[in-house]
């Protein structure tokens, strides 16, 4: 399973990549706004220069034609760019055309197995079921991830499943168990995954004992 960072915050991306476990980034217009970027192109190109893996960038047009024009322009910004397109009539039409042009697509705002299947049939490289947002409305977000993984396996789709809208470390464990190819996580969740209170106590105790052994304790 791969880990991506779900952020447009450059410091967080730098720190995550430095740890050596982050192989991609997903952004969306809300994350770009939150990070304070006004120049979308510069933001994306800077992120791509740091992460050197798939970087998902979302289109904002509402019509298929506009989505395709936006996607073709964004795809030229960097070889690492993947175009995020929401699942809807216009999005489906756009992703079917773009996939045939070898522009990689990530189906975003995916909330059902039917939507994921349509994305795969349209040739998308990734689908992103939004786990946390489904949980918020009383649906089993990670159950959907497991269903999509199982269906894609059964029919041999090459589309990869990104567990998105991850809120806490338990989501990452569940995503791994559900067979998600990728989990895209906020930076805070990455740090929560690293740390464990018993590790912290253990490190302090080993340091203490090593100092005692050296006669410094």
**Active site positions, annotated:** 84
Q: Does 26 bind ligand E4P (CB under 6 A)?
A: yes
For ligand E4P, what does the binding mask look like between residues 149 and 188, x meaning CB under 6 A? ---------------xx------------------x----
Helix (H) or strand (E) holding 160, with range, is strand 160-163
Instruction: Quote the CA–CA distance of 54 and 24 in Å, as a whole number.
Output: 5
d(CA 126, CA 105): 6
Tokens describing residue 67? 């989505």
Choose between 136 and 209: whose C-beta lies nearer to ligand E4P. 136
Continuous H helices in the chain: 10-18, 29-34, 40-51, 64-75, 89-100, 113-121, 131-136, 141-155, 169-178, 187-194, 197-213
Considering the complex, state which of residue 170 and residue 203 has its C-beta at the smaller distance from ligand E4P.
170
**Segment interacting with ligand E4P, rule: CB under 6 A, options 69-77, 97-105, 129-137, 151-159:** 129-137
Which of 29, 132, 143, 179 binds ligand E4P (CB under 6 A)? It is: 132
Residue with smaller CB distance to ligand E4P, 149 or 164 = 164
Residue 21 or 203 having the CB closest to ligand E4P? 21
Contact call for residues 138 and 111 (beta carbons, < 8 A): no
Which position among 12, 99, 125, 128 is part of the footprint of ligand E4P (CB under 6 A)?
A: 128
- Torsion region of 115: left, alpha or beta (phi above 0 gives left; psi -120 to 50 gives alpha): alpha
What's the rounded Cα separation, in Å, for the pair 183 and 142? Answer: 11
**Beta carbon of residue 179, minimum distance to ligand E4P (angstroms, whole number):** 18
In the complex, the smallest distance separating the C-beta of residue 109 from ligand E4P, rounded to whole angstroms, is: 8
Q: How many residues sit in the footprint of ligand E4P (CB under 6 A)?
A: 11
Looking up tokens 């893996």 gives 53
CB closer to ligand E4P, 115 vs 165 = 165
Residue ranges that bind ligand E4P, judged by CB under 6 A: 6, 26, 28, 108, 128, 130, 132-133, 164-165, 184
């Amino acid at each position: 399973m791969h880990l991506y960072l779900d952020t447009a915050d450059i410091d967080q991306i730098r720190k995550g990549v430095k740890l050596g476990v982050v192989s991609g980034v997903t952004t969306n217009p809300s994350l770009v706004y939150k990070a304070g970027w006004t120049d979308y192109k510069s933001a994306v190109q800077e992120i791509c220069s740091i992460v050197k893996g798939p970087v998902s960038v979302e289109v904002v047009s509402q019509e298929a034609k506009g989505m395709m024009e936006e996607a073709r322009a964004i795809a030229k910004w960097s070889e690492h760019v993947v175009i995020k397109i929401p699942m809807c009539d216009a999005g489906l039409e756009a992703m079917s055309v773009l996939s045939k042009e070898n522009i990689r697509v990530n189906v975003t705002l995916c909330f059902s197995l039917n939507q994921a299947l349509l994305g795969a049939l349209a040739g998308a490289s990734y689908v992103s079921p939004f786990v946390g947002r489904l949980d918020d409305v009383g649906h089993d977000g990670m159950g959907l991830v497991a269903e999509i993984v199982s269906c894609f396996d059964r029919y041999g789709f090459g589309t990869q499943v990104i567990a998105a809208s991850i809120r806490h470390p338990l989501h990452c464990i569940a995503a791994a168990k559900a067979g998600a190819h990728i989990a895209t996580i906020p930076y805070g969740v990455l740090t929560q995954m690293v740390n464990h209170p018993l590790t912290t106590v253990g490190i302090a105790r080993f340091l203490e004992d090593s100092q005692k052994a050296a006669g410094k304790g």
